[in-house]
Amino acid sequence: MAWTKKVMRVNLTEGTISEEPLNMEWANQYLGQRGLATRYLVEEIDPKCDPLGPENKMIMTTGPLTGTMASTGGRYSVVTKGPLTGAIACSNSGGFMGNEIKNAGWDMIIFEGKSPKPVYLYVENEKAELLPADDLWGKSVWEADEMIHKKHQDPLIRIAVVGRAAETGCLYAGIINDLHRAAGRSGVGTVMASKNLKAVAVRGTRGVGNIKDPAAFIKATNEGKKVLSENAVTGEGLPALGTQVLMNVINEVGAMPTRNMRDVQFEGSSRISGEAMKEPRPGDGRPNLTTNAACFGCTIACGRISTIDQGHFTVENKPEYWGASGGLEYEAAWALGSDCGVDDLDALTYANFLCNEDGYDPISFGSTLAAAMEMYEMGVITKEHTHGVDFSFGSAEALAKAAEWVSKGEGFGKDLALGSKRLCEKYGHPELSMTVKGLEFPAYDPRGIQGMGLAYATSNRGACHLRGYTVASEILGIPEKTDPLVTEGKADLVKAFQDATAAVDSTGLCVFTTFAWTLEDISPQVDAACEGDWSVEKMLEVGERIWNMERDFNMAAGLTGKDDYLPKRLLKDAAKTGPATGKVNNLGEMLPRYYEVRGWTTDGVPTRETRERLGLNPDGIGV
């Protein structure tokens, strides 16, 4: 068990809320969270629908281990059709929201339609109601969070909110819970705002039980925790330096995308690294990092809580930014930093605070700004566009201003809110957009890590590191070391990572555990909690099924194998420095083999046999 077996359905058009039993046949095939919610979405929406229209649905979903004592078991995901890509979107968040939904007695909440007026959903265990949000609309995430807590006079409510970026149509807006944890990527916040849904506020006091074999579960989760604490990455690196432990490592191997991916190493990386966050700064003598912090149930605690120097130009005379808040993760530090050529740590932290305060993805934002900076240097974008601000690479001022504009949807911020693909098209240089399927790249240059090129090209939600993190194998040697500069064997590696990750994303656990855990560690925990068989083999099969279902959704939405590409820059312009000097990404050497190991046609469509083997509709979706 471990599922609550209850689904809440919220029809925003009608303003009605109903309860239905969880489809347990699907739970047995798709486990929970990412897989199970995608199964619901596929059943319920037309893949061709307008992502920002009322026909799209948005599902907030937990996994069976969400809310339990399994380490990191507090996650939830938001599954919908994404506005940047027109493909399946699934964003995962930590903090304390997933466990609260589960504690209130719900596995998932399905939002459909569009409310005629701004509303928020308030859930107190079995009781749920849509309340007016006219006063919350136009407010930042941080303001809305405070107002909702005050209104209900309950400091223990957990809240997920969209900010002004989402309201003003920023295409990469996320949903922020607990002030600084985010379902950040692929524009799920934009979808939420398009439904006039400002927030979801939950208070759950029922507890999570229904564990199949409690004794076995406690044993398995304790063993899992031991593995995490004894592992060098999850036991030392992540608690000490956060995901920022990667900054210097990735720069050294020559896979640090820099200045809109023109370069693969950033000369300023040591100034924006996890180590730098711990150094006392010249201004106030204090380090940027205040403490590390855990999400619900997490024994790793990779989260960063940072404070900006009060004398820093970004926050001078702005006491509202002087307190501690969510600090830089590696992805944010990379996108706001090296991709824009900026090495001012506090400026990056400020931009990151704004991304949290108004709810948008720092990866997509940083990458879009980097493209704008490149076009500025080419003279395509000028000071007339940028309100007189110098947008050259390296400008901390440009970074701070750009974030302020995107936060409020003002001026040039409106262009930046389009995302890199649409911005570059608008200014006539689509080749400068570092995106796949419309989603901006994360922090690993695929010229220096070949497998990641294939992972990006084939990722179902666009360029993403969290769909198949072969960096683990190619750079860190987890579970075993492969050569990052060769393409041989990478098709199989990418498939294995993609399938395993799809399964992990369906449990309620954090994917960062997989620096230490394999499915051998995870399956006993799931198996002890959930009815049915959850062996490693079953989990892998579930993962592969999810991957193919997402692929079929994308095919039905109108994507094809042609969308499995990389920008020309990564295929034609060789890396200029570092161990990958002279290398481009050789996607063409990997893609045909990948289609083959996937059991897809040479055009990248799952074959009837593959679908049948996985228990999917042999004709695909929507046929």
Binding site for ligand SF4 (CB under 6 A): 72, 94, 294-295, 298, 300-303, 510, 512
- Give the interface segment with other proteins, choosing from 271-279, 291-299, 430-438, 533-541 (CB under 8 A): 291-299
DSSP structural state of residue 430: G
Among 199, 201, 245, 293, binds other proteins (CB under 8 A): 293
CB of 197 to ligand SF4, least distance (A): 25
CB of 573 to other proteins, least distance (A): 42
Q: Nearest CA to 187 among 332, 363, 34? A: 363
Q: Nearest CA to 31 among 495, 479, 500? A: 500
Among 269, 307, 501, 525, binds other proteins (CB under 8 A): 307
Taking the least distance from each CB to ligand SF4, the nearer of 501 and 548 is 501
196 contacts 170 by C-beta, under 8 angstroms = no
Phi, psi dihedrals of residue 78, rounded to the nearest 5°:
-115, 120
CB of 70 to ligand SF4, least distance (A): 11
Binding positions for other proteins, 55-84, rule CB under 8 A:
67-69, 71
CB of 103 to ligand SF4, least distance (A): 16
> Which tokens is 137 given?
């609309």
Taking the least distance from each CB to ligand SF4, the nearer of 41 and 355 is 355
Q: Nearest CA to 206 among 128, 296, 108, 102? A: 102
Taking the least distance from each CB to ligand SF4, the nearer of 133 and 295 is 295
- Give the interface segment with other proteins, choosing from 111-119, 167-175, 299-307, 553-561 (CB under 8 A): 299-307
Give strand pairing partners of 606. 600
DSSP string for 304-357: EEE---TTSTTTTT-GGGSS-EE---HHHIIIIIGGGT---HHHHHHHHHHHHH
CB of 28 to other proteins, least distance (A): 23
Q: CA distances (Å), 106 to each of 5, 29, 65, 477, in order?
A: 7, 19, 13, 39
How far apart CA 37 and CA 43 sit, in angstroms, is 10
Taking the least distance from each CB to ligand SF4, the nearer of 242 and 341 is 242
Taking the least distance from each CB to ligand SF4, the nearer of 56 and 93 is 93
- Give the interface segment with other proteins, choosing from 199-207, 391-399, 499-507, 539-547 (CB under 8 A): 199-207
CB of 72 to ligand SF4, least distance (A): 4
Establish if 291 lies at the interface with other proteins (CB under 8 A): yes
- Secondary structure in 3-state letters for 521-567: HHHHHHHHHCCCCCCHHHHHHHHHHHHHHHHHHHHHHCCCHHHCCCC
> Which tokens is 347 given?
């400026």
- Give the interface segment with other proteins, choosing from 34-42, 112-120, 305-313, 535-543 (CB under 8 A): 305-313
Q: How many residues bind other proteins (CB under 8 A)?
A: 36
- Residue 208 binds which entry of other proteins, ligand SF4, none, with Cβ cut-offs from 5 to 8 Å by kind? other proteins
Phi, psi dihedrals of residue 288, rounded to the nearest 5°:
-65, -40
CB of 281 to ligand SF4, least distance (A): 25
Give strand pairing partners of 62. 76
How far apart CA 4 and CA 105 sit, in angstroms, is 6
Alpha-carbon 156 to chain mean position? 25
Taking the least distance from each CB to other proteins, the nearer of 184 and 239 is 239
SS3 74: coil
Binding positions for other proteins, 130-169, rule CB under 8 A:
156
Taking the least distance from each CB to ligand SF4, the nearer of 260 and 506 is 506
- Give the interface segment with other proteins, choosing from 108-116, 303-311, 393-401, 508-516 (CB under 8 A): 303-311
- Give the interface segment with other proteins, choosing from 27-35, 258-266, 274-282, 286-294 (CB under 8 A): 286-294
Give strand pairing partners of 263. 258
Taking the least distance from each CB to other proteins, the nearer of 156 and 232 is 156
Orientation of helix 450-458 relative to helix 490-504, angle to 10°: 50
Taking the least distance from each CB to other proteins, the nearer of 356 and 395 is 356
Alpha helix locations (H) across 127-172?
Answer: 141-152, 164-167
Taking the least distance from each CB to ligand SF4, the nearer of 8 and 159 is 159
CB of 142 to ligand SF4, least distance (A): 20
Establish if 229 lies at the interface with other proteins (CB under 8 A): yes
Establish if 310 lies at the interface with other proteins (CB under 8 A): no
Q: CA distances (Å), 85 to each of 79, 165, 542, in order?
A: 14, 18, 25
Establish if 281 lies at the interface with other proteins (CB under 8 A): no
Contacts of 587 (CB under 8 A, 6+ apart): 446, 453, 454, 457, 565, 566, 571
- Residue 613 binds which entry of ligand SF4, other proteins, none, with Cβ cut-offs from 5 to 8 Å by kind? none
Among 227, 301, 536, 556, binds other proteins (CB under 8 A): 301
- Residue 510 binds which entry of ligand SF4, other proteins, none, with Cβ cut-offs from 5 to 8 Å by kind? ligand SF4
Torsion of CA 540, 543, 549, 550, to 10 degrees: -150
Among 248, 292, 601, 607, binds other proteins (CB under 8 A): 292
Among 53, 132, 209, 592, binds other proteins (CB under 8 A): 209
How far apart CA 303 and CA 291 sit, in angstroms, is 8
506 contacts 542 by C-beta, under 8 angstroms = yes
Among 23, 248, 290, 518, binds other proteins (CB under 8 A): 290
Establish if 219 lies at the interface with other proteins (CB under 8 A): no
360 contacts 167 by C-beta, under 8 angstroms = no
- Residue 94 binds which entry of ligand SF4, other proteins, none, with Cβ cut-offs from 5 to 8 Å by kind? ligand SF4
- Give the interface segment with other proteins, choosing from 290-298, 390-398, 438-446, 600-608 (CB under 8 A): 290-298
Taking the least distance from each CB to ligand SF4, the nearer of 17 and 324 is 324
How far apart CA 534 and CA 520 sit, in angstroms, is 11
Establish if 220 lies at the interface with other proteins (CB under 8 A): no
How far apart CA 444 and CA 453 sit, in angstroms, is 9
For other proteins, the binding residues (CB under 8 A) are 67-69, 71, 96, 99, 103, 156, 179, 204-209, 225, 229, 239, 290-299, 301, 303, 305-307, 323-325
